Amino acid sequence: MKQANCIIIGGGIAGIQAAIQLGRYKHDIIVIDSAQGRSSIAKAYHNILGWPDGVSGSQLRNLGRQQAEKSGVKFLDDKVTTLEKIEDKFIVSTKKDSQYQADTIFLATGITDNIPPIKNLYSTLGTSTYICPDCDGHEITDKQTVVIGGGTTGVKMSLSLLYWSKNILYVNHLKTTIDEKEREKLKEGQIPLIEEKVEEVLVDDEHQLTGIQLESGRIIEASKAFTAFKGNKLNNELALQLGVQVNENDHVVTHPRTKETNITGVWAGGDLIAHSEQVTISMGDGTQAAIWIHKRLLGHPLPYD
């Protein structure tokens, strides 16, 4: 059975940042990644220091992986299926029937966005279709923008986007019931409401959104879009297997200074522990956790009461 000082589960932004830091400490580190994280589908992040023209999630991941590998970090393309603690060691089993033993664990399994399989939608994510207004609201400034969503979730997104553009249109793709109070809010914001399924996202030769085609065949022109669907899946199954504490929203609870969970030897970071959904915060979580994992591996006491 292969052994490591730390096994990082999840090779997204938080996981890779932790790997870089731990690799520089010269620890034996394994990253197990199923390549299904949200950063793998994001075509461009625009609010990250040093990337004024944006950077894709895949580019960040590839560069980060190369950086970590220079320090001896090993990456495995696999999916962890079970995680258990036996005495003071952790046993990790994977989909490819491999087993590993670790002194410590960093959970960076994140969330999976609920994005419907609308034709051409995925090809525009991060460049002209967005998910997070805190990340990309600025990109729609004064532009005709369509919100593709469901029910009240789409109403809330549409109203929040008025901060950047007054040209917002909401398509209730799921045809979910919207009560009169929410409808009145849309009217007050002068946001047209269309309750019809989106058949296709229309794109130009560079895969930039030019509009949408509805189920009826009607075409709505727009240069930007946001998706707004509830039901994002928090990937906390492995944490729950170990008895890791979660909050009322099912996010993993960690110590604010160290990022260690209630299970000694298990740390967590990124979207798994908070609803910030920010690359830069995930980076910080990865680095912060790695520093304290290093201290634990050296036998130093951690700042707990």
Confidence of residue 126 (pLDDT cuts 50, 70, 90): confident
**pLDDT above 70 for 171:** yes
CA dist 121 → 59, 207, 210 (Å): 20, 10, 12
Please write the tens of the pLDDT for every residue from 230-269: 988 999 999 999 999 999 999 999 999 999 999 999 999 9
| pLDDT given at position 40 | 79
Non-local (6+) Cβ contacts of 103 within 8 A are 4, 5, 6, 88, 89, 90, 265, 297
Q: Is the confidence at residue 216, as pLDDT, over 70?
A: yes
Q: Which residues pair with 211 in a beta bridge?
A: 202, 221
Q: What is the pLDDT of residue 231?
A: 87
Contact 292, 258 (CB under 8 A): yes
What is the 3-class SS of 220-241, one letter each residue? EECCEEEEECCCCEECCHHHHH
What is the rounded radius of gyration, in angstroms, for the C-alpha atoms of the chain?
A: 21
Question: For residue 32, what pLDDT is reported?
Answer: 97
pLDDT confidence bin for 305, thresholds 50/70/90: low
- b or e along 9-47 (b: 16 or more beta carbons within 10 Å of the residue's beta carbon)? bbbbbbbbbbbbbbbbbebbbbbbbbeebbbebbbbbbb
Tokens of 89: 């060691």
pLDDT in tens, 176-192: 999 999 999 999 999 99
Mean pLDDT of the chain, nearest integer: 95
Average pLDDT over residues 143-164: 97
Give residue 302's pLDDT.
Answer: 85
Mean pLDDT, residues 206-214 taken together: 95
- Class of the CATH-defined domain 2-113+232-298: alpha beta
Cα–Cα dist 29/69, whole Å = 10
- 219-221, strands of its sheet edge to edge: 198-203, 209-214, 219-221
Which whole number is the average pLDDT over 58-81?
Answer: 96
Element containing residue 69 per DSSP (H, E): helix 57-69
Residues forming CATH 3.50.50.60 domain(s) in the chain: 2-113+232-298, 121-228
Reported as a single tens digit per residue, the pLDDT across 95-115 is: 999 999 999 999 999 999 899
Cα separation, 241 vs 214, in Å, equals: 43
User: Hey, how many other C-beta atoms are within 10 angstroms of the C-beta on 233?
Assistant: 11
| Residues in CB range of 135: below 8 A, 6 or more apart | 45, 46, 47, 277, 278, 279
Q: 87 in helix, strand or coil?
A: coil
| 153-167 mean pLDDT | 97
The answer to whether 101 and 3 have CB atoms below 8 angstroms apart is yes
**Cα separation, 111 vs 209, whole angstroms:** 25
CATH class of 121-228: alpha beta
Confidence of residue 304 (pLDDT cuts 50, 70, 90): confident
- pTM tops 0.85, yes or no: yes
Classify 264 as helix, strand or coil: coil
Centroid of chain to Cα 67: 21
Indicate the Cα dihedral angle 100, 245, 21, 64, nearest 10°.
80
